[in-house]
Amino acid sequence: MTVLTFKHFVSADQVTPTDALTLIERAEAFKHGESRQFANPIYVSNLFFENSTRTHTSFEMAESKLGLSVISFDPTHSSVSKGETLSDTIKTLSAIGVNLAVIRHPQSDYYRPLLDASSTAILNAGDGAGQHPSQMMLDLMTIHEHFGHFTGLKVGIVGDLAHSRVARSDMTLLKQLGATVMFSGPRAWYTEDFAQAGPYVEIDDLMPQVDVLMLLRVQLERLDATTRAAFTATDYHQTYGVTLERAKQLQPQAIIMHPAPVNRDVELASELVESPQSRIFTQMHNGVFMRMAMLEAVIDANHF
Amino acid sequence: MTVLTFKHFVSADQVTPTDALTLIERAEAFKHGESRQFANPIYVSNLFFENSTRTHTSFEMAESKLGLSVISFDPTHSSVSKGETLSDTIKTLSAIGVNLAVIRHPQSDYYRPLLDASSTAILNAGDGAGQHPSQMMLDLMTIHEHFGHFTGLKVGIVGDLAHSRVARSDMTLLKQLGATVMFSGPRAWYTEDFAQAGPYVEIDDLMPQVDVLMLLRVQLERLDATTRAAFTATDYHQTYGVTLERAKQLQPQAIIMHPAPVNRDVELASELVESPQSRIFTQMHNGVFMRMAMLEAVIDANHF
Amino acid sequence: MTVLTFKHFVSADQVTPTDALTLIERAEAFKHGESRQFANPIYVSNLFFENSTRTHTSFEMAESKLGLSVISFDPTHSSVSKGETLSDTIKTLSAIGVNLAVIRHPQSDYYRPLLDASSTAILNAGDGAGQHPSQMMLDLMTIHEHFGHFTGLKVGIVGDLAHSRVARSDMTLLKQLGATVMFSGPRAWYTEDFAQAGPYVEIDDLMPQVDVLMLLRVQLERLDATTRAAFTATDYHQTYGVTLERAKQLQPQAIIMHPAPVNRDVELASELVESPQSRIFTQMHNGVFMRMAMLEAVIDANHF
């Protein structure tokens, strides 16, 4: 097996195409029942400074399946409320013996000051509008599971690009792995960095072309008040969303993905969430096994 | 042993008298040291959307004693705060691999849309003013432990019937098991559904008649502002409560029960909470073993 | 090995000099890899009614290393919010089967009504401005680890004495073990009880004398509004704090301690937090092993 060297796992930029394929292979092995035991107890804390059901619970499950010892940490009841910096918090956890910190934080690049602060390894579970490597990796796994490869696949990424950790993480590696990407949704969200990665295509032109339709959540809680007031769910659905009508234009082999939670009847008609072409709950299921592979890679790289 | 078939365990209506006796027998076995191991790891999440010490901690203890793997879930930090429905949350937990969800929620019948939503089994830990089957079952266990049977027992249920999950759950099964029920407390709370189950009796007439005096918590936090303002603890205690004086009218074999937390000197004189006739802390103790029996019944019915 | 008899472990007053040395010896053994297993499962709950990273996480780690079963309890979601007393909460946990409760609470002496309330043992993790025995014990361990003894050591305690649990806990036992204590910082905080334990010394006179410089956190969140407004971090640092300049006056064998979280550049120049003479992160590291020793002492004394 290829050896992965993730002292920390914080950014999609760290992941080479070879790494991605190695992690996918390992995650698929876990999905098919492989288990892993470690010689020493491994202590992990999950620090979620933003709300999350899926990511938090999925990491807890992955940790449980790997037999890690979870040391509970609640940011809202921590000394962070006494003004302690995140860096001092991690140094504290390190002194206490926490080997690995899984962190979600609203600030982009929050992890940079932490990388050399202590011996505790950092696994980034999402930073602001920046990186979300575990979501990227479970997306790639879900595509690979269906098609068996990436070369030549057409991936349409639709929606709130500007606020999406997921879009940025995914597009880079998808291209390196041989897929082409295109974008749709409100043009205001199609900013320069996306324009460099692939073309903007009207939603009705996009539907019949893609192998993978990757929808993004319209993150209402991140919109400013004016935008939110102007925004109606029905308008969005009719103009940019995947209606029942539009879904009929998909090719038979195409799949629908969404990082969830889905705004039903906004990004996607509610009936399609659990349709045969949807892989939305498969993504969540795969996420546990991918996170096992990522945790294992970090643990092994650190020789805990 | 009788086989129980609780795919979900959500309502007192599911429990036949035979089921109740089987669960009590199993809970008593756990209390006397019997243990149970499962072939596969069982993943359980506790979703408490309402505050609770007793019920939440008691389920955590029961799960620990059964060796279940608890995947932590905090509703206040979950995507429910992004507007996700409870049904989508459960589907998510199911995709992640959670076998069993123990849920307490303020909305009556919250569980109905969940029963066919996914493969995750639901154990209802209380819904609004509706059902609270684990409290019912631990009440029945505590009565059975003392008397050895139910036939012919006279059970007086006293207090805030209107807001009580417990009263509704208990009265149905107690009658099926051969007990008679009667009610006391403020007449406004003695609504039609209780009138069909048993008579209203003034508290001073009730005391010398009963084998079991089942007090209910006056749920101040559920009263409307007007009622709460009019209500004084002292008045309630003198008019409807179990004062030291009234307690002397109890027969020697009678027991006092209360689901707790007790409003001391409101429903019950403080000195009586730990009196020889009180079974209040016994109820809490029994609750752990009854919840073990209920969890086991659901796990076995689902062949996890 | 000396037998310790801590049915509860709530106050520094309980700890004789012999006990302290026995606990330190045991904690050092744990630090050097010794482990301990118990014949029966031990159930512990951590009740933190005040925010804390270090103490809470450190106890969780100690419990994990001892193989205890942690039954989770969140005060903010408990029946305490329905007005239940702490005493009734502990009786409830006791009835549910919790053997040991680790409690941090803002009210001084909160633990007194709990000691005879139930069979659950209490380990005090800090009460208001009162006791904080596990911090005291890890401080003593850290001093002992460096010097190998206490006799004749000069310990300077500097800062917010009035609001400090730590200062009161430490000074008593340090003196019994043969050390001398002196105090510095704002004179208003040098109250009568400290005056009886040792002299007040200006910070610049203190620096060259001490073997141990024990800094206290200026607890901004406990100051009243007027004091907080008058208080500036820069003033404090220049007048009472350990500046880079002042630190040069320390003897070479002297060590700097602080219970953390440190207000960087208030009590201590930021650069000194991780300097060679600082033992601040060592204290956190030692805390885990000392808490193992304290938990073990309570468990053994109760024959759980």
Put simply, whether C57 touches A (Cβ < 8 Å) is yes
**Rounded to whole angstroms, what are the CA distances from A159 to A185, A191, A266, B188?**
5, 12, 10, 55
Burial level of B249, CB count in 10 A (0-12/13-18/19+)?
middle
- Report residue A243: phi and psi, to 5°: -80, 170
ipTM confidence score:
0.91
> Based on C-alpha coordinates, what's the Rg of chain B?
19
Q: Could you give the CA distance from residue A193 to residue C239 in angstroms, rounded to a whole number?
A: 52
Chains sharing 3 or more CB pairs under 8 A with chain B: A, C
Tokens 């090995």 identify what position?
C1
pLDDT of A51-71, one tens digit each? Answer: 887 899 999 999 999 999 999
Between chains, do B53 and C73 touch, taking CB under 8 Å as contact? yes
Task: Annotate A76-93 with b (16+ C-beta within 10 A) or e (fewer).
Answer: ebbbbeeebebebbbbbb
Tens digits of residue pLDDT in B205-248: 999 999 999 999 887 666 666 666 667 888 889 999 999 999 99
Closest CA to C11 of C180, C155, C141, C126: C126
Burial-class residue C177 by CB neighbours within 10 Å (0-12, 13-18, 19+). middle
**Lowest-pLDDT range of A207-221, B63-77, C80-94:** C80-94
Q: CB–CB of B53 and C89 under 8 A?
A: yes
C35/chain A closest Cα distance in angstroms? 13
Q: Is the pLDDT of residue B182 over 60?
A: yes
Domain ranges of chain A: 12-131+285-302, 133-279
For residue C19, the model assigns a pLDDT of 96
User: Is CATH 3.40.50.1370 the right assignment for the domain spanning A12-131+285-302?
Assistant: yes
Beta bridge partners of C45: C101
A45-A50-A52-A56 Cα dihedral, nearest 10 degrees: -10
pLDDT at A18: 95
Contact C96 B284 (CB under 8 A): yes
Which residue from B41, B69, B79 is facing A53, i.e. has the nearest CB?
Answer: B79
Identify the chains in contact with C, defined as 3+ C-beta pairs within 8 A. Answer: A, B
Residue C3 has pLDDT above 80, yes or no: no
C69: helix, strand or coil: strand
CB B91 within 8 A of CB A281: yes
Question: Token digits for A304?
Answer: 């805990």
Quote the pLDDT of residue C75.
79
pLDDT score for C185: 93
What is each CA distance from A18 to A1, A14, A170, C88, C133, in whole angstroms? 11, 11, 15, 59, 53
Which residues make Cβ contacts (< 8 Å) with residue B38, sequence separation at least 6? Answer: B66, B67, B68, B299, B304
How far apart CA C82 and CA C75 sit, in angstroms, is 11
User: What is the structure's pLDDT at C50?
Assistant: 87
Query: pLDDT tens across C151-208, in order?
Result: 999 999 999 888 787 788 889 899 999 999 999 999 988 999 899 999 999 999 999 9
Nearest-CB residue to C281 (from A41, A71, A91): A91
Q: Note whether C260 and A92 are within 8 A (CB).
A: yes
* Chain C interface includes A78 (CB < 8 A): yes
**Residue B215, burial from CB neighbour count under 10 angstroms (0-12, 13-18, 19+):** buried
Predicted pLDDT of residue A131: 85
Task: Give the minimum alpha-carbon distance from C260 to chain A in angstroms, rounded to a whole number.
Answer: 9
C142 touching chain A per CB within 8 A: no
C113 touches chain B (CB under 8 A): no
| pLDDT at residue B80 is higher than 80 | no
Whether residue C159 contacts residue C185, with contact meaning beta carbons closer than 8 Å, is answered with yes
Of residues B279 and A188, the one with the higher pLDDT is B279
Q: Which of A171, A170, A156 is closest to A202 using CA atoms?
A: A156
Contact status of B285 with chain C (Cβ, < 8 Å): yes
- Residue C15, pLDDT > 80, answer yes
CB B269 within 8 A of CB B242: yes
Calculate mean pLDDT across residues C94-116.
95
Tokens in use for C19? 């006990």
Percent of chain C topping pLDDT 70: 93
Whether the CB of A32 is below 8 Å from some CB of chain C: the reply is no
Taking the CA atoms of A140, A143, A149 and A154 in sequence, report the sign of the dihedral they define. Answer: negative
Cis peptide bond prior to C199, omega within 30° of 0: no
Please tell me the distance from the alpha carbon of residue B247 to that of residue C291, in angstroms, as a whole number.
46
Compute CA distances C161 → A233, B91, B153, B197, B211, whole Å: 58, 54, 63, 64, 59
Contact A82/C281, CB-based, under 8 Å? no
Residue-level pLDDT at B195: 94
**Whole-number CA gyration radius for chain A:** 19
Mean pLDDT, all residues of chain B: 92
Q: What is the three-class DSSP state of B242?
A: strand
What does the pLDDT read at residue A231? 72
pLDDT at A13 over 60: yes
pLDDT in tens, A76-92: 765 565 667 899 999 99
Which is more confidently placed, B76 or A212?
A: A212
Min Cα–Cα distance to chain B from A289, Å: 9
* Interchain CB distance below 8 Å, B97 and A221: no
CA distance B213 to chain C (A): 20
State how far the Cα of A235 lies from the Cα of A215, in Å rounded to an integer. Answer: 17
Is A11's pLDDT higher than 60? Answer: yes
Task: Find where tokens 């092994």 sit.
Answer: A300
Q: What distance separates the 2 farthest-apart alpha carbons in chain C?
A: 57
Give the length of chain C: 304
Q: Which residue has the higher pLDDT, A230 or B116?
A: B116
CA gap A188, A208 in Å, rounded: 24
Across chain A, the runs of DSSP E, i.e. the strands, are 43-48, 69-70, 100-105, 121-127, 154-158, 180-184, 212-215, 255-257
Q: Is A81 in Cβ contact with C61 (below 8 Å)?
A: no
Q: How far apart are CA C177 and CA C140, in angstroms?
A: 10
Which is nearest to B184 in space by CA: B218, B163, B160? Answer: B160
Distance from CA of B163 to the nearest CA of C (A): 15
pLDDT for position B164? 80
Domain spanning A133-279: CATH superfamily: Aspartate/ornithine carbamoyltransferase (3.40.50.1370)
Q: Which residue of C has its CA nearest to B53?
A: C78
CA distances from B186 to A235, B6, B197, B214, B233 (A): 53, 36, 17, 15, 13
With beta carbons under 8 A apart, name residues in chain C contacting B61: 43, 71, 96-98
Which of the pair, A231 or C41, is modelled with greater confidence? C41
The nearest alpha carbon in chain A to B94 belongs to A285
- Chain B residues whose CB is inside 8 A of the C72 CB are 57, 60, 72
Query: Does the CA dihedral A74-A79-A85-A88 come out positive or negative?
Result: negative
Q: Which H helix or E strand runs over B10?
A: none
- B-chain CB neighbours of C41 within 8 Å are 64-65
Per CATH, C12-132+285-302 and C133-281 having the same topology is answered: yes
Pull the structure tokens for residue B51.
């505050």
Q: What is the pLDDT of residue A73?
A: 87
Measured in angstroms, the CA of C199 and the nearest CA of chain A are apart by 31
User: Domain C133-281 carries which CATH code?
Assistant: 3.40.50.1370
Residue A292 near residue A65 (C-beta atoms within 8 A): yes
CATH number of B133-284: 3.40.50.1370
SS3 (DSSP) at B183 = strand
Q: Residue A276, Cβ neighbours under 10 Å: how many?
A: 9
Q: According to the model, what pLDDT value does residue A81 have?
A: 56
CA distance A125 to C26: 38
Is pLDDT above 90 for B45? yes
- Between the CA of residue C71 and those of A63, B33, B54, B58, what are the distances in Å? 18, 20, 12, 9
**Percentage of residues in chain B having pLDDT higher than 90:** 75
* Chain B residue with the nearest C-alpha to that of C77: B51
Q: C12-132+285-302 architecture in CATH? A: 3-Layer(aba) Sandwich (3.40)
- Measure the CA–CA gap between C286 and A96, rounded to whole angstroms: 8
Residue A270 φ then ψ, to 5° = -55, -40
Mean pLDDT of B160-170: 82
Angle, CA A55 vertex, CA A221 and CA A117 arms, to 5°: 95
Alpha helices by DSSP H, B2-79? 17-31, 54-65
Note the CATH number of domain B12-131+286-302. Answer: 3.40.50.1370
pLDDT in tens, C31-84: 999 999 999 999 999 999 988 878 999 999 999 999 999 998 877 766 565 667
pLDDT in tens, C254-298: 999 999 889 999 999 999 999 999 999 999 999 999 999 999 999
C217-259 pLDDT, tens digit per residue, is 887 666 666 666 667 888 889 999 999 999 999 999 999 999 9
Q: What is the pLDDT of residues B88-111, one digit of tens each?
A: 999 999 999 999 999 999 998 999
Closest by Cα among C200, C142, C196, C206 to C168: C196
